[in-house]
Amino acid sequence: MIFILASARDVHARRVSDVLNNHGHQVTIFDAGLLGNGSTLSYPLGETPIIVLSSGQTVSFDRATCIWYRRPRLGHVAEHIRNPAVRNFCRQEWANLLEGLFLNSDARFVNPMLAEYAAVKPRQLHVAREVGWAIPDTLITSDKDHASTFIQKHHGRVIHKAMTAPRDRLIDTRVWDEGDRPALKALTFAPTIFQEMICGPMDLRITVVGQRVFTARILTDRSRAGIDSRMDMDASYEPYELPDQIHERILAFMAAMGLVYGTIDLKLTPEGEYVFLEVNPQGQFLYVEILTGMPIASAMADLLAHGADQSPPQASVNGSLSDLIRQS
């Protein structure tokens, strides 16, 4: 049995589940956000954890062969609990139980949980440099004076971005503007990443699934979105073949991070240098599949069913992806 930890509305979970079902594999999408909202979880140590859904259906993890840690949610905290400290306590209790349950599991994980925890941006950039990537000059700071000095060092040619992604909104990467300077005083509340701006004719969106590497190029010199190509819904995505050396470096980076899945963003400079920007171990790939025809969902299904060391079968994309997106 393959478990996918995600909301039932997650289109990536549903797409990969469909592929697995079509190939005769048993798969369950489990949304931990249902717990505390009519569903219960019991974990007798040394025995099988048992979830009873509000429908009365029982979900048991004893048959789990692989668990995709797609975008799991914590248990639900009832709305009538208003006290912030109590709400935070409830969230911590759910996190402690669920993470302990999964860490104790003998199932194979995509990705290993401890590797996902370690895949924070400061760690990514450190490991990327160790395996040979060029990275932008970077400052992560909560000090407005240090930020000002960094901006001056690069003559204002700087981008700034968050280290994490909120569930309820998209925070885009932005080019520094002098009009942003009054906001630097807010750094004391939360640190921010500042990087030198790397210019070039294209971005590369690379989806790594086990040992398979799917690369799409985005022609940013034709994009209306500026530094963040995600902001241009009409941006051109095309399959792109990486040089062997870069392909090997990507796999070496993933191995050093302990990840078997992730989406990597690179920048290709006019001089032909590949610059590492970041990896997202829960990154989106369906839009890349739709725009390029690369069979990423099938590769993910194969990884979940057989592991990273199996030779993947050749697969093609069927025409249901756009319909799946529209249904969500």
Q: Which three-class secondary structure state does DSSP give residue 277? A: strand
User: Tokens 């040619």 appear where?
Assistant: 157
Q: pLDDT for 230-254, tens place per residue?
A: 555 667 899 999 999 999 999 999 9
Q: Give the Å distances, CA to CA, from 109 to 48, 145, 326.
A: 18, 43, 29
Question: In degrees, to the nearest 5, what angle opens at C-alpha 21 toward C-alphas 34 and 32?
Answer: 15
Measured CA to CA, the distance from residue 26 to residue 275 in angstroms comes to 40
Q: What is the pTM of this model?
A: 0.87
Strands 192-196 and 212-218: unpaired
* Three-class secondary structure of residue 215 per DSSP: strand
Residue ranges of alpha helices (H) inside the chain are 11-22, 84-103, 113-118, 121-130, 144-153, 244-257, 286-292, 296-306, 321-327
Instruction: Please spell the DSSP secondary structure of 38-87, one letter per residue.
Output: TBEEE--TTS--EEE-TTS-EEESTT-SEEE-SS--PPP--TT---HHHH
Please write the tens of the pLDDT for every residue from 52-102.
Answer: 988 888 888 888 899 999 998 889 999 999 999 999 999 999 999 999 998
pLDDT averaged over 10-residue windows placed end to end, the chain, 328 residues: 92 96 94 91 90 88 90 90 94 92 91 92 96 97 97 96 78 90 95 94 94 92 56 78 96 97 95 95 94 96 84 36 38
In the prediction, which pLDDT does 221 show? 60
Question: CA–CA separation, 238 vs 274, rounded Å?
Answer: 17
* Closest C-alpha among 101, 107, 56 to residue 74: 101
The Cα–Cα gap between 256 and 206 comes to 17
